Structures are given as C-alpha cells and as structure tokens.
C-alpha cells in the first residue's frame, strides 16, 4: 500500500510544481516528477515480495507461482526513454525561449 | 493472399526514411525531401496493396515475432483504420509536396521530423495494443513539438513550449490511465481488454476513472473545448504547411484513438450517457470555435479556430449516432482545411504577412488562388453542391429527427462560419494597390486542382463516395469482429 501512496504523492508534487512554479525549468522538473510517479505506480503493480525473475528455463514448476510480472518493468523502461526525450526537447525549446525573450519566468513570458 | 499484411510495413518504411534522411543529406542536398516524398508515396502503395484483402475480411491482424495475441503485441488493420490512414497520408504527402515546392531552404531535419510524424500517425492507426498506442502518441507529439518550432519568429518557441507542457501532461495522464487499466485487467491488448472489461464494467468504477484519464489525454490532442487553447497559438506561429498537418492529420489521429478506445475497447456505442457527453462536448467545441474565429485578425488563427469548430460537428454527429456522417464530415473538413492552409501558405509567403487586414491592403490577382479559396471557404460554410454541405446536411437531418435543438445550433454555427469565411475572403481579395507577385509551381497547381476536384466530387456525387464511410463506420462499431480477428478466434 505504501508504494501506491508514495506514487500518488510523487504525482501530486509534480502536478503542484507544474501548475504553481513560475520558473520554466522547475515546470519541466514537475513534469518529470509527475511521470516518475506514474512509473513508480506501474512498477508497484508488478512487485511481489520474495518473487523470482521470470526466466523460464532456470526455475522448477514449484517456483512458477513466485514469478514477478515482467511487463510493467518493460513498460517503464520504454516510458523512461520517452520521458528523457521529452525533457531534452523541452530544455532545447527553453534555451531558445531564453535566447529570444531573455527570461525563464512563465509569468513574464505571458506578458510579452 | 500475398499482399494482405503489407500495410503493416508502413511504420517501418517511415522509420527508416526518418533516420536515413540525416545521412542522405551528406551525399546530395536535395535528397532528404525526395526520400520523405517517396517514403510517403510508398506507404500509400502499401496501403493500397492491403485493400483487396480488407474488402473480404473486415479486420486483418498480425502478431509481432509470432507471440500469441494476449502476450505479444498485435497489429490490426480494419476498414476504419484504412480510411483514416488514407486521409492522413494524403495530408502528409501534400504537406511534403508543398514544403518541397515553397520552402527555400532545404532543411533535412524538417523532412526527418515529418517522417517521424508519419511513424507516430500510422502507428496509432495500426496498433491493437494500448501501450503501443501511447508510445506512438509520444512519437507523434515529440515530432509535433519540434515541428511547431520551425517558423523563425520568436512566438513559435513560446507557443511550442506551451504545447509541450500541456501535451506531455496529457500523454502522462494517458499513461496513468493505461497503468490503471493494466492493474485492473492485467492485459494491454485492446481485444483482450475489451473481453475482460465487459464483465468488469458494472462492478468496478475504477475502470471509468482510467477511461477518463485516457480520454482527457487524447481529447487534449484533438483540441476539443475546453482543451483547445494550445492549438490556435501553435498554428498561428508555425509555418502554414506544418499548421495544415496539425489541423488535419493530428486531429484525425487523436479522434481515431478516441473512437478506438471508446468503441472497440470500452464498447460505449450503445451508452446514452456517452452519447450525450459527446453532444455536449461537440456543441461547445462548435460554438466556441466559430465565435473565436469571428474575432481573429490572423488568417492562420481564423483557419485554426475554424478547424476546431468543424471538429465539434464530427463529435455531434457521433453523439447523434450518425457515424457515417461523422466520418464523412471529418474527411471533408480535412480536404477543405488542407486547401485553405496551403493556399494561405502561398499567400502569406508572397505577401509577407498573415494579418487579414494587411493582406487586404495588397492587390492579389491570382485567379487559381482566388477560386480555390472561394470554393474551400464556401464548402467550409456548408454551401450546397460542395462536400462540406453534403456531410453537414446528413448531420442536420439526423439532428432534426433526434434532437431538434442540436440541429438548430448546428445550422446557426454554420451561418456564423459563412459570415466569418466571407468576411475574411472579401477583405483579403479587396486590395487595389501594391500588387503581390505570386508564383505557383505546376505541381502545386495540380494538387490544388485535385483538392478542388475532391470537394466538388464529394459535394455532387456523394452517394457514390459515402459507401466507403459507411463501411468504415460499420467496422468501427463491430467490436466482436475486431476481438475475433485480433485474438484469432
């Protein structure tokens, strides 16, 4: 249970940062935290105490029920890569915004 | 049959094209644009190769690597996705052609991004796996963020950043919804999930929470009111060719994903509440789009709001359960908006401004542009004998039968559309001084003639053309057929 609470707390922190922070870089960090909360949630779905790695030839039939679900980890791996590229594109655009507007404040940017 | 599953090669074709372009640029400066063009033409051929098989079997499916459906990733193509692929490929091909003809610089990265856009778009149309759909959505989004920066004015970066923040928050919500669904059902395959959800729906309300996360993420991409604010800003600041792609292909893709999730996975086609919500969202989108379009001073902003307003009509048609009219209207809107955006692109490049009033202070005497824009604006407003009217008429008729008030609003919005279209058109072509020198290449001319031909054909002979959309609507609602085909029952 604690891991789900942690995941949703992380999402909430990310959401607050995304909505209330004025600095564009902090907004990007908030976006990253929000996605990481979802990743934690997905990983927790596949967690099993005392579980085994799901590699079929290494195990006996008795251990079969102990295998963890490998799919969430694969999903999160994919999603982390996507998150990385979004962060990269976001930072690249922010560099350009700073070059043209000379500010990183979302509020000042909105006024210009 | 041999060519059955060739359409599944479209995604790899675009992917290879996207990553070979930066290398190809080193050999020949003009190679990138040709690679992009030939990749998209090849995709159209691959789609055509799958059509004969599609007309007999309603849904074609393929499993990657031979892993059986609920475990491996399935790919499926039904008549609905074939129609959407055809329409979006048309938009992409025309976008590449017009960029090739009218952009002076030969930026290889630009064509690479267009191919990546193609990967995301066709991937969403092909996939039968929810997480796969999310990944392709992200590919589409990331290439869109980069494409939105392409105009060299500084406003483009600001609107692109805004788009990125909203868009990636939307796709994160989608991921959250998919994660919840995976936690509840234990599967990601759309067909398998549909089977499991059927039993779960009445007892587990969490399923609906998951659905609303996914739907919010998708509808943000489709720019449905109140999630529309990013789109006009992005279109206003980006290049007209890219704007055309955002207005047509990405809206169509998002709507496809929305219908696929709502009808195929969740089976909402018979739910009255869902239809009413579509009606409310559609009417709001229709009215807000049209009213905002009236006050626009920028030609591209006007076109962007006009697209949003027309998306509302599509949702209204679906809410009235007239699916054929909805798909037909979506197709018509795409043809109309493509024409308007490309014509506007040529005008804006030649005149050096996108402000409607400053365009009006210049003399524009190009007969082809004049007639093509007149035709498209009239069709957009729903004037008889043009395609925009044919589909709007079907929406009015089914509205009058089921909910007269909805039909009345639709007619009123159509009148507003007529007003702002004709106002903009009259101002743009009213100038008597400062002649603008407009050059249109032969290829672009041919494209304009083709688009105008489509507008007239689907306006006059729509009884013949509507058959395709009837089939698409039928396959969209055929949940059992999709499940059977994907799971191999």
Would you state the pLDDT for residue A17? 94
Closest residue by Cα to residue B200 from B220, B177, B183, B176:
B183
Tell me: the pLDDT tens digits for B60-112? 888 877 777 778 888 899 999 999 999 999 999 999 999 988 877 667 889 99
Per-residue pLDDT of chain A (112 residues; tens, 9 = 90+): 888 999 999 999 999 999 999 999 999 999 999 999 999 999 988 887 777 777 776 667 777 777 788 889 999 999 999 999 999 999 999 999 999 999 999 888 877 6
Using a pLDDT cut of 90, give the percent of chain B over it.
69
Nearest to B154 among A82, A85, A100 (CB): A100
The nearest CA of chain B is from the CA of A102 a distance in Å of: 11
Pairwise CA distance, residues A92 & B230, whole Å: 19
Would you state the pLDDT for residue B1? 42
Is pLDDT at B376 greater than 70 in this prediction?
yes
Q: Which residues contact B207 (CB under 8 A, 6 or more apart)?
A: B181, B184, B197, B200, B201
Would you state the pLDDT for residue B125? 95
CB B489 within 8 A of CB B377: no
Would you state the pLDDT for residue A39? 95
Q: Which residue has the higher pLDDT, B236 or B64?
A: B236
Q: Which residues contact B152 (CB under 8 A, 6 or more apart)?
A: none
Chain A environment of B172 (Cβ under 8 Å): 31, 34-35, 38
Dump the DSSP string for B176-209.
Answer: HHHHHHHHHHS--BHHHHHHHHHHHTTT-THHHH
The nearest CA of chain B is from the CA of A62 a distance in Å of: 22
Chain B environment of A31 (Cβ under 8 Å): 165, 168-169, 172
Domain count, chain B: 1
Is pLDDT at B443 greater than 70 in this prediction?
yes
The phi-psi region of residue B102 (left if phi > 0; otherwise alpha if psi is between -120 and 50; otherwise beta) is alpha
Nearest to A86 among B135, B142, B183 (CB): B142
Using a pLDDT cut of 70, give the percent of chain B over it.
99
Note down the domain range covering B244. Answer: 2-487
Enumerate the β-bridge partners of residue B60. B77
Is pLDDT at B158 greater than 60 in this prediction?
yes
CB B204 within 8 A of CB B184: yes
Contact B157/A18, CB-based, under 8 Å? no
Is pLDDT at B477 greater than 60 in this prediction?
yes
Nearest to B131 among A24, A75, A96 (CB): A75
Would you state the pLDDT for residue A50? 76
Pairwise CA distance, residues A95 & A93, whole Å: 5
Tell me: the pLDDT tens digits for B403-417? 899 999 999 999 999
Residues in chain B whose beta carbon is closer than 8 A to a beta carbon of chain A?
131, 135, 138, 141-142, 145-146, 149, 154, 157-158, 160-161, 164-165, 168-169, 172, 175-176, 179, 182-183, 188
Enumerate the β-bridge partners of residue B298. B355
Q: Return the structure tokens found at B464.
A: 């013949």
Tell me: the pLDDT tens digits for B385-407? 899 999 999 999 999 999 899 99
Would you state the pLDDT for residue B14? 96
Mean pLDDT over B42-52 rounds to: 91
Tell me: the pLDDT tens digits for B261-319? 999 999 998 889 999 999 999 999 999 999 999 999 999 999 999 999 999 999 999 99
Is pLDDT at B25 greater than 90 in this prediction?
no
């Amino acid at each position: 249970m604690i891991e789900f609470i942690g995941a949703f707390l992380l999402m909430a922190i990310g959401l607050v940062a995304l909505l209330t922070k004025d600095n564009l870089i902090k907004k990007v960090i908030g976006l990253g935290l929000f996605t990481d909360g979802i990743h934690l949630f997905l990983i927790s779905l596949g967690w099993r105490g005392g579980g085994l790695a799901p590699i079929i030839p290494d195990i006996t039939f008795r251990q079969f029920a102990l295998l963890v679900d490998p799919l969430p980890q694969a999903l999160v791996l994919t999603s982390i890569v996507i998150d990385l590229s979004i962060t990269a594109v976001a930072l690249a655009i922010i560099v350009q915004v700073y070059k043209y507007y000379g500010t990183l404040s979302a509020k000042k940017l909105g006024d210009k | 049959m041999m060519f059955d599953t060739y359409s599944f090669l479209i995604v790899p074709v675009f992917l290879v094209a996207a990553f070979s372009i930066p290398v190809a640029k080193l050999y020949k400066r003009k190679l990138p644009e040709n690679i992009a063009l030939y990749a998209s033409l090849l995709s159209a051929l691959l789609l055509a190769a799958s059509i004969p098989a599609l007309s007999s079997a309603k849904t074609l499916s393929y499993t990657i690597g031979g892993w059986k459906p609920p475990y491996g990733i399935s790919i499926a193509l039904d008549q609905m996705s074939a129609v959407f692929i055809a329409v979006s490929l048309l938009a992409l091909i025309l976008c590449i052609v017009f960029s090739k003809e009218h952009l002076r610089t030969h930026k290889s990265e630009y064509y690479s991004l267009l191919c990546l856009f193609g990967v995301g778009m066709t991937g969403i149309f092909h996939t039968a796996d929810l997480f796969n759909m999310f990944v392709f959505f992200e590919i589409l989004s990331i290439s869109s963020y980069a494409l939105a920066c392409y105009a060299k004015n500084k406003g483009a970066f600001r609107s692109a950043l805004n788009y990125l923040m909203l868009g990636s928050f939307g796709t994160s919500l989608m991921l959250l919804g998919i994660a919840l669904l995976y936690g509840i059902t234990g599967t990601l395959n759309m067909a398998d999930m549909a089977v499991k959800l059927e039993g779960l729906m009445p007892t587990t309300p969490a399923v609906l929470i998951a659905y609303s996360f996914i739907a919010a993420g998708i509808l943000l991409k489709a720019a449905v009111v109140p999630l529309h604010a990013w789109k006009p800003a992005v279109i206003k600041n980006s290049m007209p060719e890219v704007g055309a792609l955002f207005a047509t292909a990405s809206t169509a893709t998002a709507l496809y994903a929305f219908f696929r999730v709502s009808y195929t996975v969740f089976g909402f086609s018979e739910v009255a509440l869902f239809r009413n919500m579509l009606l409310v969202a559609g009417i709001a989108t229709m009215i807000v789009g049209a009213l905002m379009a009236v006050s626009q001073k920028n030609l591209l902003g006007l076109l962007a709001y006009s697209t949003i307003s027309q998306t509302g009509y599509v949702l209204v048609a679906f809410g009235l359960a007239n699916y054929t009219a909805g798909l037909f209207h979506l197709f018509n809107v795409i043809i109309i908006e493509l024409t308007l955006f490309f014509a506007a692109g040529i005008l804006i490049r030649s005149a050096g401004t996108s402000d409607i009033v400053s365009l009006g202070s210049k003399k524009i005497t190009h007969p082809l542009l004049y007639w093509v824009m007149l035709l498209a604006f009239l069709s957009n407003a729903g004037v008889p004998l043009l395609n925009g009217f044919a589909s709007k008429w079907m929406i009015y008729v089914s509205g009058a039968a089921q909910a007269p008030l909805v039909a009345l609003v639709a007619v009123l919005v159509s009148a507003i559309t007529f007003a702002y279209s004709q106002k903009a058109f009259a101002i743009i072509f009213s100038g008597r001084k400062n002649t603008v020198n407009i050059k249109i290449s032969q290829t672009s001319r041919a494209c304009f003639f083709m688009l105008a031909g489509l507008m007239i054909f689907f306006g006059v002979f729509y009884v013949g053309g509507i058959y395709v959309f009837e089939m698409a609507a039928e396959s969209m609602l055929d949940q059992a057929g999709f499940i059977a085909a994907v799971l191999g029952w």
